[in-house]
Amino acid sequence: MKVLFVEGKHLDPLKALARRHPYPYRILQREAQGLYLLEVWAYAGDLEGEAQGLEGFRSWSFELLEEGGKD
């Protein structure tokens, strides 16, 4: 499964990008630095290209290798 991260200082473009697609996502905030991080799971390739086109944002993707919990 692919996981995409998009980081930037403006929340609205991240919300708009995430809401245009049907993929599960979370938006995290680091208030002290004024940063937002969009995390999208199990997405198709079109989203990665859109993220790279956002001016002033950084994006990167990973392949999920393992998922676990406390148990």
Tokens 């996502």: give the residue. Answer: 25
- Return the beta strands (E) in the chain as ranges: 2-8, 25-30, 35-41, 58-63
Q: What is the pLDDT of residue 37?
A: 98
Q: Tokens at residue 51, please? A: 């993220």
Predicted confidence pLDDT, tens digits, the chain (71 residues): 999 999 999 999 999 999 999 999 999 999 999 999 999 999 987 899 999 999 999 999 999 998 888 87
Burial class (CB in 10 A: 0-12, 13-18, 19+), 48: middle
pTM surpassing 0.85?
A: yes
Give CATH for domain 2-62.
3.30.70.120
How far apart CA 51 and CA 18 sit, in angstroms, is 10
